[in-house]
Structure 1
Amino acid sequence: MGIVKQTMRLDKLLAHSGYGTRSEIKLLVKRGGVQVNGKKAKDSGQQVNPEQDEVLVDGEKVVYREFVYLMLHKPPGYVSATEDTRDPTVLDLIGGEYSHFDLFPVGRLDKDTEGLLLLTNDGKLAHELLSPKKHVPKTYFARVSGGPVGAEDAEAFREGVRLDDGYVTLPAQLNILEPGGAGTEARIELTIMEGKFHQVKRMFEAVDKKVVYLKRISMGSLSLDHTLALGAYRELTEEELTGLRPE
């Protein structure tokens, strides 16, 4: 996925394809392990075109990809960051075969929140999905206590509720699956068009309810693959990726 038209240094291509550090690749070239278009490469800094030139490492064809897109079913207990000094991050769940891509999470889910999280190294697409101007819808499933959750709550969310810091949310769509009440939890789906800090939890606090379980099930056109176990991930299909891209 991703189209590469420009030339680039051979060592950059190989490093980005998982063949080691620049210094390791320099040694690889020096011992004659790299061929470009049938000839042994002599300089790890030579220019190559990933679309047009055939590069082999010890006889194996190098397949270069500029961008990678992973759908992760985030489990609780992991923070949506590339590094953290206290808690494990979502990148700790990703296998080493993707380590050279410098992946990052697109947006964030709270540490205790589960569900759909997109990981990529495509900064342009991430910006399109996260830009406040784009109003990309995000849908969550939640269990809520303090119910019942009813039509008044749906109307309040549709009009926008005032959060604890005074911010009034954009209109949101509340779908009540089970209203709850009398000691039972409500089950709802909520679609919001923005991504303020702890927004879903704070919206329910604004109507005197409490979110006790939260799971993101979709973001834009991308829906969580329910065959993915908690902590599992897979690459997006071409169809899924096309649906995410701006028209």
Structure 2
Amino acid sequence: MKLRLDKYLADMGLGTRSEVKKAITRGLTEVNGAVVKKPECKVDTETDEIRYQGRPVGYIAYEYYMLNKPAGVISATEDPRQRTVIDLITSRQRDDLFPLGRLDKDTEGLLLITNDGALAHRLLSPKKHVDKVYYARIQGVVTAADAEAFAVGLDIGDEKRTLPAKLDILESGEISKIRVTIREGRFHQVKRMFQAVGKEVIYLKRLQMGSLKLDENLETGAYRELTKEELEALC
């Protein structure tokens, strides 16, 4: 792939376009061993060797990270006051990463961080109906009648009822434990579905999105790159 030299460097998080342009014109960049001072110089991401301030800079078109999101962190790319999920990806090389889908601030679990817009569309498009699996603790006794209501679809105050969802009751009691599979991504959907049957979600964690399952060995707040097999399954 051919790119302008300034875009190549900016994509790799070495500064804004204006910052890297200044560095290039000052002679701080080499292409295949020769100093290049023109930001508009086209380079081949696969064959050209780029050095910036004496250090080699390889090009990575896409990055894919699985994050076990902790509570208290927002699903955003940047925020002046609060820590974001992107802040947790300290080894990232690109500066255009975003969370694929949102988790509420107090929700934990699986979040995919990438810069692949095409993959985001495939997984998030309302027409795709990608399964999302959550574990939750519920204030109140969850019953078979609730599972039946979830299976039919619920009125949660939107224009349309929710699509049928699968509610598995793991433990029923004053604090019930459940697993629920939904095929949409409406705002606060799981919480609102339980509100519709007169109960309250007190803990929520996403376990799976499509074929991607949360790595059980990934501690809360930790992340890792997707494996080749995980990425192929998603694509």
Normalised TM-score (structure 2): 0.90
- The equivalent of 2:234 in structure 1 is 244
Q: Aligned-pair distance for 1:176?
A: 1.5
- The equivalent of 1:72 in structure 2 is 67
Q: Aligned-pair distance for 1:150?
A: 2.7
The equivalences for 1:23-62 within 5 A come to 23-26=18-21, 28-30=23-25, 32-57=27-52, 60-62=55-57
Q: What SS does the corresponding residue of 1:140 show, helix, strand or coil? A: strand
How far, CA to CA, are the matches of 1:114 and 1:134 in structure 2?
24
Q: Match for 2:166 among 160, 173, 197?
A: 173
Point out the more displaced range, 53-62 or 109-118: 53-62
Q: Per-residue CA shift, 1:129-171, capped at 9, x if unaligned?
A: 1100000100000011210x23222221111122134631101
Q: Aligned-pair distance for 1:28?
A: 4.3
How far, CA to CA, are the matches of 1:72 and 1:192 in structure 2?
20
One-letter code aligned to 1:110: D
- The equivalent of 2:152 in structure 1 is 159
- Which consecutive residues of structure 2, in runs of 5 or more, have no partner in the other structure? none
Q: How much identity, in percent, do the aligned residues show?
A: 58
How far, CA to CA, are the matches of 1:227 and 1:101 in structure 2?
27
The equivalences for 1:162-201 within 5 A come to 162-165=155-158, 167-178=160-171, 180-181=172-173, 183=174, 185-201=175-191
- The equivalent of 1:119 in structure 2 is 113
Q: Per-residue CA shift, 1:90-120, capped at 9, x if unaligned?
A: 223232x437422111111111111111111
Q: What SS does the corresponding residue of 1:216 show, helix, strand or coil? A: strand
- The equivalent of 1:207 in structure 2 is 197
How far, CA to CA, are the matches of 1:19 and 1:51 in structure 2?
19
- The equivalent of 2:102 in structure 1 is 108
How far, CA to CA, are the matches of 2:80 and 2:147 in structure 1?
39
- Which consecutive residues of structure 1, in runs of 5 or more, have no partner in the other structure? none
Q: Aligned-pair distance for 1:238?
A: 1.6
- The equivalent of 2:126 in structure 1 is 132
- The equivalent of 1:19 in structure 2 is 14
Contact 1:68–1:101 (8 Å) recurs in 2: no
Q: Aligned-pair distance for 1:200?
A: 0.7
Contact 1:74–1:114 (8 Å) recurs in 2: yes
How far, CA to CA, are the matches of 2:213 and 2:18 in structure 1?
41
How far, CA to CA, are the matches of 1:57 and 1:84 in structure 2?
29
Contact 2:207–2:213 (8 Å) recurs in 1: yes
One-letter code aligned to 1:190: V
How far, CA to CA, are the matches of 1:27 and 1:197 in structure 2?
43
Q: Aligned-pair distance for 1:16?
A: 1.6
- The equivalent of 2:219 in structure 1 is 229
Q: Per-residue CA shift, 1:200-222, capped at 9, x if unaligned?
A: 11111222222111000110111
CA spacing shift, 1:189–1:41, aligned 2, 3 Å: same
